[in-house]
Structure 1
């Protein structure tokens, strides 16, 4: 019992718990001040009607990168998306696929997102390093997806003009501040604290809330992430018991039989992350379960920690995009009504396919290059 409790409450897990709860508080504070709706309305106002589908993907990607959660993005963007589908006569399947995949762009990439925090902490990688490695794959995949949606939207000459709602640039500033400060390497806890204070101050200044409303919103946001903090503690304690009784060593031995190189190690870790996410339908929990196994395998085959964290995140969110029982998929289908269906949405999901292809390709050639360099 002492082994379980000591590992469940170690410094790394406590730091993870603090970060995810503060991320929830920050997200709620910005939503209260109007930042979330401002991003949506600003994006819609800047995008021509015939290019609304690639615009929906781009706006969803930006929002998810800012708030770090696909669920929050879907809740915000899905109703807007299907209102635009009806008003502008858009392809419902393509628009639905764009909002789901765009929402997961930032879920696995944002430095204030549960997936990134869990993956980086689980394998022992700095979040900044993981972000900089993963953005080199995610950004090209997103650009190619936008190009694909744009080319398909060129035929949509019958799209109607849609009026955008009001927005206030000031309310978006906390998002920008958090992204910039986190990217330059400032401690994430301090970044989130500053962002939360900034968002609350803006909300009070604009008359959208008083200090008690802000405190309540921050508390509710932190409470919404409390389950992940508790689950992380439980998993870390359980992993310590598994390691003590030889369970982790057994799993590593089983997987090692199928690994013949650094590239195959990375591929197997990605497949493991994808399968676990598909089985339990929660990418945050999947990452917590997969990370200790990935870390052991990665250490044995000299895989960089940031690469491990990136691969786990990429394949976890990729699985979440395509499984029918995922909350984002079910919410989108519910809002879409009879205008589209699951197979129609899957048909237009270009981003996960491109993302996986680029990840496999880049890792294969990187491993090949590394092998050739050692041979010389």
Structure 2
């Protein structure tokens, strides 16, 4: 028995604390996804030549609860314009006093370049509360396969860190794709974590070797042959995938080709490199549309909305500021409780059924069917 095995007392297979929502509901204060707070930067870490991690504490120093894999929407004034972007929280919820986002500098990227050039210890950043459903609680599993590319590693890193912080030796295979070995985000930490958790296995595949002539790993792209060699039992695993849209499509395709059950495949819904998307179009209907009133309970502001428009688009037309980001029912930033009235909501994964049961709706993809009173 080696030293790691002697120090590590593996949790029983039935221990599902990572995938149990109650684990993450018990620690820290609830920070609603529609509530904006100020973050103070504590530390900036160079992960690669073009990727930095920005670590923050909440302005009042309070702990924050969230689920591993969730994201925040950050807001900043860039060249006189308000810019909002979604970034996954790369730190685990087991460390609730410190939140980190890990950002790749994207050529021409407004927010990523601003963060890289301006964010330093002591700097402040506005952000909305954690949101998103790409978390282990979506699918409890005894064995997991994490597939990531580029900065898509961040939600899976949060899950991995959380699992180890909980003292769990979970059966996780983490396969990451990068351009070159120098572009592997969290490379050293992942290697260290495999020493702490004997059943965590990591594999890297790079498109090229770059300046690392001694690279002994595979080059090219992830293939079914490689996956079968590294993870012979991939069919039995719950798969979580995050990365550029093309990568996720390719990963889903090769798994399908290999006979993996699509019901056990989960991927991040928003493209982390994209900006704000257009709102979903209203259903085609030439009939006259009814008009309804919307009242905000906290501010007592009111505006009207046509039945063919989303509540968010009507609010914008009326000059009413409502937190939002993706505008297509994915990110959850505009999640709001409907106190009175009804809406027709067609979302894309940005809200959970238990939240719907509590009366919450995503305003970017909700069209009114009556007068409304919103908890805003």
Give the number of the structure whose residues are more often strand, by fraction. Answer: 2
Tell me the TM-score normalised to structure 1 length. Answer: 0.26
Give the number of the structure whose residues are more often helix, by fraction. Answer: 1
